[in-house]
Structure 1
């Protein structure tokens, strides 16, 4: 087995272990009925997010590593578009998602709040919209990786 083959294997496992859990992060918190359940759901969601971060980092590193080992990949549009889309999704974390998650974290941190406030619903709806957009980006990347259309 070559180093390139090893990178491909790590890349595929990183996609499964890193991106897979990211697709259920919204679902985990949507069924909470009260603040206790919501806080617990966000606790689980935050733990899952660690898998997403590690998997995403491995995806980027192994993808770039494969490109360095086979420079022709940088001439393939499917590879370049995938890389650009990945960087866009990566940038969405601190630029789009984190600012929208911050007020939700403040609500969750306030132990005086026992019922899910209406403001949470508005904030979560906006956050989840952008999370769904990043999920769509990841699905497009996966499709490009599988089909290599151009």
Structure 2
């Protein structure tokens, strides 16, 4: 049996796409439960939130690497319209992750922080990131020629 490196890359790319979107759907109920709980329980929920964000971030790294390898090994040139648009959205999602999740989570334990506002922003950011990821998923599957 011959090992098909391109097929392995496709599998890893799809798997990392699932891992970079799926855990965010777990984030919504966890965020909802954080409101109005005691400090110890709150810290436990925040640990779960941090783990979810780390999974999404690391899966995103694998997604980028495997995507770059697929474009390099595959039949599509870098200047194809759907590749360019995907790269632009990829950069936006990176900024989104850094500002929407990491900075917001750092503020949560600071004295005087408005925790409800932080949780609201975290929820809104999650939905925004899911939206960006779904657009990228559409671009990867459909591969539309935009120009």
With normalisation by structure 2, the TM-score equals 0.81
Structure 1 consecutive aligned stretches of length 4 or more whose deviation exceeds 3 Å: none
2:107–2:113 contact (8 Å) kept in structure 1: no
1:29–1:38 contact (8 Å) kept in structure 2: no
Counterpart selection for 2:131 from 132, 136, 142: 136
**CA offsets, 1:14-48, max 9 Å, x none?**
11123211232233121234133322111112122
**Alignment length, in residue pairs?**
141
2:12–2:66 contact (8 Å) kept in structure 1: yes
**CA offsets, 1:84-110, max 9 Å, x none?**
211211122223432222221335xxx
Q: 1:22 to 1:73 in 2, by over 3 A?
A: farther
Q: 1:101 to 1:48 in 2, by over 3 A?
A: closer
Q: 1:119 to 1:73 in 2, by over 3 A?
A: same
Superposition RMSD in Å: 2.2
Gaps of 5+ in 2: none
With normalisation by structure 1, the TM-score equals 0.80
Gaps of 5+ in 1: 108-116
